[in-house]
Structure 1
Amino acid sequence: MTGRPGQSPPRGLRVLAIDDERPALDELAFLLRQDPRVQGVLTSDTATEALRVLQDLAVDAVFLDISMPGLSGLELAQVLSRFKSPPPVVFVTAHDRHAVEAFELNAVDYVLKPVREDRLAEAVRRVVEGGGRPAARTDDQIAVELGGRTRFISRADIRYVEAQGDYARLHTTQGSHLLRTPLATLEAEWREAGFVRIHRSLLVSLPHVQEIRTDAGRCTVLVDGKELSVSRRHTRELRDLLVRRTRPGGGT
């Protein structure tokens, strides 16, 4: 990093990595140290120890696991949010089910394990640029990146959504777009707009379901001409929702 003439170059980030599993913590710390924007990495294997560190030292960001004995990562983030100057928080976890809670705590990012170097670099970039939730969205317009540019698409044009790691791929009639948001987050936020989960890796827009088919106990739906599998656990709920939509005044 270089500064303007006559100015000192900006220092790199000092971050705190927290995970109760030592191999995962060592790997996270190693990857963070490879990033040229990171100057120093502190580590802790418990949230309680991390609090003691944070009482004595200021850090630029906290990268923490969620499932830990004693104080969990979510509980630690709640404590940090009450700091006078709370550090940006990036959750690094093996589970996507806590994504909604994490973003309610104003997490800068939510990275799924196993951690990829390029994905962690993206989280560091968000910290450097001031945090905030990725891919700012309004109720109808979704911001997606395309060829280095940000483009806005209408949520009404999205037929179905497919999980891809800690990203979601939005499928429209014009093509598909990657969104840096876990599927679990979209499921919670978009349910009122008619999006429902039909499989652990799929959400569909109910208004765009053309057919529901059953063959030898296997259920599928036809969406924009594409046949999508429905898992057993979601079949009954999907049928009920589709039936309610066909009734006068029906909805999701």
Structure 2
Amino acid sequence: MRALIVEDEIPASEELSYLIQEHSRIEVVDCLEDGLDVLKFLQEQEVDVLFLDINIPSLDGMMLAHHIGKFARKPYIVFTTAYKEHAAEAFELEAFDYILKPYDEKRIAAMLHKLELTFKRDQEQTENMDNRMQMENQAYRRAEGHLSANDHGAQRGYDTREDQVRSGTRQAQQGLEQRAVSSSSPTHTTDNLTGTRINLLRNDNIIVTDSADIYYAEAQEKVTKVYTKNGEFTMPVSISDFHSRLPQDAFFRCHRSYLVNLAQIREIVPWFNNTYLLRLRDLEAEVPVSRGKVKEFRQLMRI
């Protein structure tokens, strides 16, 4: 395991680092004092656990934990503080533990033992999930291939029926005319379907979805969570693979772990280090724009 200590008092930082070394196999990769420095560090590197003091400069530990809670891969958080009154809020943030100063060596040792056991168990569960998702990915690709090879006619019929509901008889007739024209060109029909619709997987069923109904997607380990107005889907593909299936002018890869439908952005909120958080229509979620994507995002949004 890799750990980051966030503590602005050097004696406390050194004592905790010593106790971690004595009672665990956890590697302390760095010790930082400032909340904003921690966010910058975590943009570049990943750690498995954060030992986090609450009273630190720039961004206090509670606010820092709120921000970290938005990460695709969240480290365990162990709060280390002299104040009891923040314990309830800490566990609302799903903290792994809450350690009071001055440190008690037996308490620290017990916490570290529990942490390593939990990490090992979670790693095993992740490996099992990876194996299951690989099987689902194979099933998804087989099913998707079957749809592409055999069901384009049924798919076009689905499109036409939905157009009738959405647009009335006149537009439905136009859709039928377009079907008749495009039927002589199978390749053109396939391109049209790929550009406007995408197949999402739920319980081994393929749900044909209008790409405009996708709000955003988030990478989580080796799968991609897709959020639409009709619910959440788990896709057994990487976020890069999923992005390649979407209309490129409508979806922006705003972060290594996120992509967003530009048409669904409701509000652009300035965040730390000249980056942004994106608030979306109809959803409570906030999607980050990473520092490396800010320039391109500003150009797209004409900021």
TM-score using structure 1 length:
0.45
More helix by share: 2
Greater Rg, structure 1 or structure 2? 2
TM-score using structure 2 length:
0.38
More strand by share: 1
